[in-house]
Amino acid sequence: AAGVIQSPRHLIKEKRETATLKCYPIPRHDTVYWYQQGPGQDPQFLISFYEKMQSDKGSIPDRFSAQQFSDYHSELNMSSLELGDSALYFCASSSRHSGANVLTFGAGSRLTVL
C-alpha cells in the first residue's frame, strides 16, 4: 500500500539559509500534519492542513511557513535557519472519512543546520 512520502530524506544547510521539505500524503487522505522531532525529544506538532486550508497551528516559528497544494501534497518552508532547527521533520496524513484520528507518518526528513 502507498505510504506517506517525504523528500528529501536528508538535507544539510548553513545558518541563515532556506530549506523546503515536501510531503506527499497517502492517496485520498485529505489532512496533512507536520511535526518536528529534535534530538532525543518527542515529536512536536507544527501545523496541519485540511482540504488545502490551515486547520490547526502549533509551535511553528514565524520563520517557517507551510501550505497544501491542489494535489494535496504539502511543503514546509523554513527560512533564516538556525542551529536549533536541526531535527527530524515528520509529515503525517489522515482521512476524515475513514478515521480522522489515525495518522500515518512518513519516514521523516532529517535537517542538519551547520
Applying CB under 8 A, which residues contact another protein?
31, 33, 41-45, 48, 50, 55-56, 58, 90, 92, 94, 96, 99-108
To the nearest whole angstrom, how small is the minimum distance from the Cβ of residue 112 to another protein?
14
To the nearest whole angstrom, how small is the minimum distance from the Cβ of residue 73 to another protein?
17
SS3 83: helix
The contacts found for 46-55 with CB under 8 angstroms, 24 or more apart, are 46/76, 47/76, 49/74, 50/96, 55/31
Q: Which is nearer to another protein, 1 or 102 (CB)?
A: 102
C-alpha to C-alpha distance for 85 and 70, rounded to whole angstroms: 28
Q: Which is nearer to another protein, 52 or 79 (CB)?
A: 52
To the nearest whole angstrom, how small is the minimum distance from the Cβ of residue 80 to another protein?
26
Q: Which is nearer to another protein, 14 or 42 (CB)?
A: 42
Cell numbers standing for residue 45: 506538532
For residue 39, give the nearest of 97, 2, 86 by alpha carbon.
86
DSSP for residue 56: E
Amino acid identity, position 79: S
To the nearest whole angstrom, how small is the minimum distance from the Cβ of residue 30 to another protein?
10
Q: Which is nearer to another protein, 18 or 103 (CB)?
A: 103
